[in-house]
Amino acid sequence: MSPLIEFLSTHDVDIMLIGETKLTDKDRLNIRHYVTQRQDRTGDTRAGGVAALVRQTIPHERVIFPATVIENVAVRSPALSVQRWPTDKYNSTCTSL
């Protein structure tokens, strides 16, 4: 068993984000019970690349952003809700990046 598959199984991971996959479009990344969403570097260069592994039981869709120099992969799912903080309560302490 590969270390990645063992980690997913041992820790019961729902979603894993991976950076520096170093995969090309000729490579396969198929893991049982997971849907793979990935963005590889163009060409045959083995550098960069990102991926998201999402458990098959989690409904989701890939979100495509306009091309930039930032490698990205994003998914959206109604099954994943994020608690939002009331922004007016925290505005005085927030700073811009």
Query: Per-residue confidence of the chain (97 residues) as pLDDT tens digits?
Result: 599 999 999 999 999 999 999 999 899 999 999 999 999 988 888 999 999 999 999 999 999 988 888 889 989 988 876 555 554 444 444 444 4
In a domain, 62, yes or no: yes
Predicted TM-score of the model (pTM): 0.76
Structural domains of the chain, count: 1
- Residues 6+ positions from 63 with CB-CB distance below 8 Å: 74, 75, 76
In a domain, 97, yes or no: no
SS3 18: strand
In a domain, 25, yes or no: yes
Pairing type for strands 74-76 and 34-39 reads unpaired
In a domain, 33, yes or no: yes
| Range(s) of the domain holding residue 62 | 3-79
The secondary structure of 44-84 as a DSSP string is T-----EEEEEETTS--EEEPPPP-SS---EEE-TT---PP
